[in-house]
Copies of this chain bind each other. A is one copy, B any other.
Amino acid sequence: MTASLAPHSVENSLTKTSLEQLLVLLGKQKPSVTENNSIEFEHRRIVTGKTLYSSGESFENLYLVFSGFLKLSNIDAEGNERITDFPMKSDLLGIDGICEQHYHLQAVALTECNLIVIPFRKVVCALQETPTFEEYLYRAISRSLVREQSSKTLMNLLSAEARLARFLILLSERYEALGFSSTCYILRMTRQEIGSYLGMTIETVSRCLTALAQAALIKVEQRNITLLNKRALRTLQRLPLLHKNNGKDKISKLEKQIIV
């Protein structure tokens, strides 16, 4: 049972995208009739493992993910990688470059990627007579901020198990929003990368996955994840850190809650 419905599959053929299509990806609901559709955006493809942009590089473009899966990370002075996000379809990349005209982070493809290129300066100037574009650009940027804040907020003070449960649920919701299966998907990143993102060691990631699987909340087959009990996962992700019981008790207690 492979998660063949996961993103990064078809629709890799496009090489140009109209403004209207771009707005829909940015979150626009109903297609407008009168929109300026003469403007087209180039695409850029990168293969697995390649870098889209690096920290310090001068900022020129925003990128909207059309297909594929990436990681966004920070390399500190000692060379340690700290992952801040895993962008996927419809996510906007490169916002971190606007403020100082050079990118702060590094974006690397975890699968083959097809990205819509948005030349920022040109576009913002040229499209100011197209208010909807501006509006959705603002919204997309704001959404990134909200997501960062809420993930930051929730990562701390939650146990490793809770954070991992939350991570799996959030991934599931993102897949669902894109029209893919929300219960069965492929992790496109290594355990190491999950650990970097969630702020825990690779061993802890592994142990927590095992624990969740033993409690029959998920099924783990290498990077293939099946969510078996989303309700329990949701409950788990809200448990504050450190209850009086150990892991097994916690989960069996959870089981009871669910049966009731």
**Min distance, Cβ A146 to any Cβ of chain B, angstroms:** 5
Contact A74 B153 (CB under 8 A): yes
Asked, given contacts A77-B238, A155-B156, A238-B78, whether A149 binds B84 with beta carbons under 8 Å apart, the answer is: yes
Do residues A74 and B134 form an inter-chain contact, with CB atoms below 8 A? no
- The residue of chain B having its C-beta at the shortest distance from the C-beta of A105 within the complex is B149
Q: How far is the CB of A93 from chain B (nearest CB, A)?
A: 12
Query: What's the least CB distance linking A85 to chain B, in Å?
Result: 8
Nearest to A27 among chain B residues (CB) is B99
Q: Are B98 and A153 in contact (CB under 8 A)?
A: no
Q: Are B138 and A98 in contact (CB under 8 A)?
A: yes
A228 CB → nearest B CB, Å = 24
A76 touches B (CB below 8 Å): yes
Query: Would A98 and B128 count as touching, CB distance under 8 A?
Result: no
A sample of 21 cross-chain residue pairs with beta-carbon separation below 8 angstroms, ordered by A number, consists of: A82-B153, A85-B149, A95-B142, A95-B145, A96-B145, A96-B146, A96-B149, A98-B141, A99-B143, A100-B139, A104-B149, A104-B150, A124-B134, A124-B138, A134-B134, A145-B148, A148-B149, A152-B152, A155-B156, A156-B199, A156-B200
Q: Is the CB of B139 within 8 A of A98?
A: yes
Which of under 10, 10 to 19, 20 to 34, or 35 or more describes the interface residues of A?
35 or more
User: What is the CB-to-nearest-CB distance from A148 to chain B, in angstroms, rounded to a whole number?
Assistant: 4
Interface residue from B80, B150, B154 paired with A240 (Cβ < 8 Å) = B80
Nearest chain B CB to A226's CB is how many angstroms away? 27
- Contact partner of A145 (CB less than 8 A), chosen from B77, B78, B144, B153, is B144
Any B CB within 8 A of the CB of A251: no
Closest 7 CB pairs of A and B: A156-B199, A98-B142, A99-B142, A152-B152, A99-B143, A82-B153, A148-B148
CB pair B199–A155 under 8 Å, yes or no, is yes
6 additional contacts (CB under 8 A) given A74-B153, A96-B142: A78-B238, A96-B146, A98-B141, A99-B143, A104-B150, A155-B156
| A97 sits at the interface (CB 8 A) | yes
A104 in complex: contacting residue of B76, B144, B146, B155, CB < 8 Å: B146
A94 to chain B, nearest CB (A): 9
Check if A131 is an interface residue, CB within 8 A of chain B: yes
- A140: CB under 8 A from chain B? yes
Residues in B neighbouring A100, C-beta threshold 8 A: 139
Q: Indicate if the CB atoms of A238 and B76 lie closer than 8 Å.
A: yes
